[in-house]
Every structure is written in C-alpha cells, then in structure tokens.
C-alpha cells in the first residue's frame, strides 16, 4: 500500500457513462488519490493541462478519435502511465503501435481483475521510473558541480599560478570557511576572473 504522499491520480477517458462508472468504481477506496473523468480526447487533453495526472485509462473508441493517437501524444508529452482498453478485433493493430511507446493495451471483454492488475502494474512501473529519474537527475547535478569546480580550479591555476592541489584546497577551504557549497565558491571564482 502506498503512503498518502505517494497516492496516484487516474484520468478515465471513456465516452459512455456506464464505462466511466464501472472503471471509477474499481478504484474508489484504493491507493489512488482521486479519479478524474473525460468523455473525449479533447476534454482529456484539457484535463491533463489543468491537473496532475499519473495514470490515464482510455476506453476506446472515443467520439473524436479512436484513442490511440491521443495515447501516443500524451505518452510523448507527459510522464504518465497509460492503459488503453480496445475491442478484441483491434487489439493486435493497436497493441503493436501502443507497446512501442510503453502504453499497456488490453482487449475487451476483460475482467475487473485484469484492469485492476494492469493499473497496479503501471503504478509500480511509474514508481520505479520516478526513482530512476531522480537518481539520474542527482547524478547530472553532481557531474555539473564537478565540471564547474574543475573549471574554477583551472582558472586559479592559470590566473593565480596555483598548483592544481592548491586550487582544490583553496576552493574547499573557502567553502568550509563561509559555510557554502563548493559550487558556489567555484561560480564566484568563474564570475570574478572571466
């Protein structure tokens, strides 16, 4: 079970009230914080622009398009998990397009359990992707800091004729003495001498 801060929101996109109510009922009183509803692709796009959405469930076809192009567009533009439920006759064609973009496709008729399991699989995958994204971002920040500190060190070597170890020690000492990060000292050196 997810903690309250980790609750996910679902957008249900279906043209028929019956389908919306059936899917909505599956996720009431669960680990999902709220459920939003749209009856067309254009309404769903507006909802995504105005609200934070983690998972989109598309019950195809929709009145303004089948739903696959909408799914492909949002998979490209947003970090959301997507489940598209299609008629069994269209499953092979739609799943071929969808799976290339990480969109989960299931055919109907399908059981309530299949839909719930599919959404939970998407939620688990999103959690994993978000953790990996956070690690990558942290590593990129660290690499950027190393680049800036190295640039500042070489400025000190060139301009003040310090050795590389002296420049390194100077930046570290300044950071400790002023209680700021090394990157701040490095940026100040760069701004001063360039």
Cα–Cα distances (Å) from 178 to 17, 43, 175, 187, 188, in that order, read 63, 53, 5, 14, 13
> Could you tell me if residue 124 is inside a domain?
no
86 and 154 housed in the same domain: no
Residue-range definition of the domain harbouring residue 171: 138-193
Is residue 6 within 8 Å of residue 51, measured between CB atoms? no
More confident residue, 101 or 4: 101
pLDDT of residue 8: 83
CATH number at residue 172: 1.10.10.10
> Within this chain, do residues 82 and 159 fall inside the same structural domain, yes or no?
no
**Number of domains within the chain:** 2
Indicate if 72 and 21 belong to the same structural domain.
yes
Residue 41 in contact with residue 67, Cβ under 8 Å?
A: yes
C-alpha angle with apex 120: 113 to 136, nearest 5 degrees? 165
Q: Residue range 21-33: average pLDDT?
A: 79
- pTM exceeds 0.85 for this model: no
Q: How far out from the chain centre does Cα 11 lie?
A: 15
pLDDT, tens digit (0-9, with 9 covering 90-100), for 93-110 = 999 989 889 999 999 999
Tens digits of residue pLDDT in 108-146: 999 989 999 999 999 999 889 889 999 999 999 999 999
- Does 9 share its domain with 97? yes
């Amino acid at each position: 079970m997810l903690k309250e801060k980790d609750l996910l929101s679902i957008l249900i996109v279906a043209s028929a009230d019956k389908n919306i109510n059936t899917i909505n009922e599956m996720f009431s009183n669960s680990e999902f914080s709220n459920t939003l509803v749209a009856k067309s692709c254009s309404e769903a796009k507006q909802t995504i622009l105005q609200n934070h959405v983690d998972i989109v469930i598309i019950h195809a076809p929709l009145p303004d398009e089948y739903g696959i192009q909408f799914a492909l567009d949002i998979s490209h533009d947003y970090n959301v998990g997507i489940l598209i439920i299609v008629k069994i006759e269209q499953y092979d064609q739609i799943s071929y397009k969808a799976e290339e973009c990480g969109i989960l496709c299931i055919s109907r008729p399908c059981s309530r359990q299949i839909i719930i399991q599919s959404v939970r699989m998407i939620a688990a995958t999103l959690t994993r992707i978000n953790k990996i994204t956070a690690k990558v971002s942290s590593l990129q920040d660290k690499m950027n800091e190393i680049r800036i500190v190295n640039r500042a060190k070489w400025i000190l070597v060139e301009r003040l004729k310090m050795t590389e170890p002296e420049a390194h020690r100077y930046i570290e000492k300044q950071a400790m003495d002023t209680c700021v990060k090394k990157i701040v000292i490095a940026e100040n050196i760069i701004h001063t001498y360039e």
